[in-house]
Structure 1
Amino acid sequence: MSEAADPGEVEYDEDTGRWRFKPRGLNITWSSTEGYWTMPEKGTDDPAELLKVCWLEINGSTPKPLSKGERYALSFKISMTEDRFGWQEAPAFMMAKVGKKGVAKWARINLADVQVGPEMKVPFGKLRFEVSKNAQDTTLYFGFYELWSGGWKGGLRIHEAVVEEMPD
C-alpha cells in the first residue's frame, strides 16, 4: 500500500529549527503502487508525482520532539502537471497536531486554483501552531489529505514538507 517513511530523507537544521521532509521521508498511501505514484530516487530532491488515486493521504511526524512554548508553521511545496484532473470535486486539507492526543489544526486548500508549472507553498500563509509549555508529547503529527470525495485525481507533485520555527 505505501512504503514506510525513510528517516534518511528528513533533514533538520539546528540553527534555524527547520525540518525538511523529502517525499521519501513521508508516508504516502499507495506510493508503492506504480500506477498511482511515481516516487523519486533516494537521496534526490525530485518530487513525488501523483498519477491517479481516489484516496490522497500523506502523513509525517517529526523524528524528535518540538520545543515547548515555541511557535511553528507547516507547509508543503507542491506543483501541478499539465494533465492534472479531479481537483474540482473537493478541496484538499492539511492537518497539524502536537502529540498523538493533541487538537488538530486544519487548513483547506483548493488545488483546482493551483496553476500548472511553478512550485508553490500551501497553504498560503502556512499552517501555524504553538507547542504548549505544559505539553507531555511534543512530537508533531501532520498530513495532507483528500479522501472524502471518492473521485479520482492526479497531476499533483509533492516536492517537500517543511516544519519551521516562527519568530515572535
Structure 2
Amino acid sequence: MSEAADPGEVEYDEHTGRWRFKPRGLHITWSSNPDYWTMPEKGTDDPAELKMVCWLEIEGSTTEHLSKGKRYALSFKISMAEGTSGWQEAPAFMMAKVGKKGIAKWARINLGDVQVDGVMEVPLGKLQFEVPENAQDTTLYFGFYELWSGGWKRGLRIHEAVVEKMPDLPS
C-alpha cells in the first residue's frame, strides 16, 4: 500500500527547532505503487508527484519532542503538474496535533486555485499551533488529506513539509 517514512529523509536543526520532511520522509498512502505516485530518488530534493488517487493521505511526525509552551507552524510546499485534475470538486485539509491524544487543529486548502509549476506554501499563513505546558506527549502528528469526495485526483506535487518554531509573542 505505501512505503514507511524514511527517517533519513527528515532533517532537524536543533538550534532553530525546524524540521524539513522530504517526500520520502513522509508516509504517503499508495506511494509504493507507481500507478499512483512517482517518488523521488532517495537523498534528492525532487518532489513526489501524484499520478492518480481517490484517497489522498500524507502523514508525518516529529522525531524530537516539541518544547512545551512554545508555538510552532506547519506548512507544505507544493506545486501542480500539467494535466492536473480533480481538485475543483473538493478541498484538501491539513491537520496538526500535539500528542497522539491531542486536539487536532485543521486548515482547509483549495488546491483548485494552485497554478501549474509554481511552488507555493500551504496553507497561507501556515497552520499555527501551541504545545500545552501540561502536555505529556509532545510529539507532533500531522497530515495532508482529501479522502471524503471519492473523486479521482492527479497532478499534485509534494516538495516538502516544514515544521518550525515560531518567535515568542511579546509580553
The residue that corresponds to 1:9 in the other structure is 9
Q: Which runs of 5+ in 1 are unaligned?
A: none
Superimposed CA distance per residue, residues 21-80 of structure 1 (whole angstroms, 9 cap, x where no aligned partner):
000000000000011000000000000000000000000000111111110000000000
Q: What TM-score comes out, normalization by structure 2 length?
A: 0.97
Cα deviations by residue, 1:116-153 (Å, 9 ceiling, x for unpaired): 11110000000000001110000000000000000000
- Aligned ranges 1:27-106 → 2 under 5 Å: 27-106=27-106
Partner of 1:24, secondary structure, is: helix
Residue deviations 1:71-116, cap 9 Å, x none? Answer: 0000000000121000011000000000000000000000001111
Say which SS state the counterpart of residue 142 (structure 1) adopts. Answer: strand
- Counterpart amino acid of 1:105? K
For residue 139 of structure 1, what is the amino acid of its counterpart?
A: T
Match of 2:167 in 1: 167
Aligned residues: 168
Q: Percent identity?
A: 83
- 2:14 and 2:154 mapped to 1: Cα distance? 35
Letter paired with 1:136: Q
Aligned partners of 2:103, 2:60: CA distance in 1, in Å? 16
User: Equivalents in 2 of 1:114, 1:15: separation in Å?
Assistant: 33
Letter in 2 for 1:5: A
Task: State the match for 1:115 in structure 2.
Answer: 115
**How big is the shift at 1:15?**
1.7
Q: Secondary structure at the match of 1:8?
A: helix
**Per-residue deviation at 1:16?**
1.1
Instruction: Specify the code of the residue in structure 1 equivalent to 2:125.
Output: G
Matched, 1:158 2:165: no
Q: Find the aligned partners of 1:38 and 1:82 in 2 and give their Cα distance.
A: 14
In the alignment, the residues of structure 1 paired with residue 36 and residue 156 of structure 2 have an alpha-carbon distance, to the nearest angstrom, of: 11
Provide the TM-score with structure 1 as the length reference: 0.99
Query: Does residue 129 in structure 1 map to residue 129 in structure 2?
Result: yes
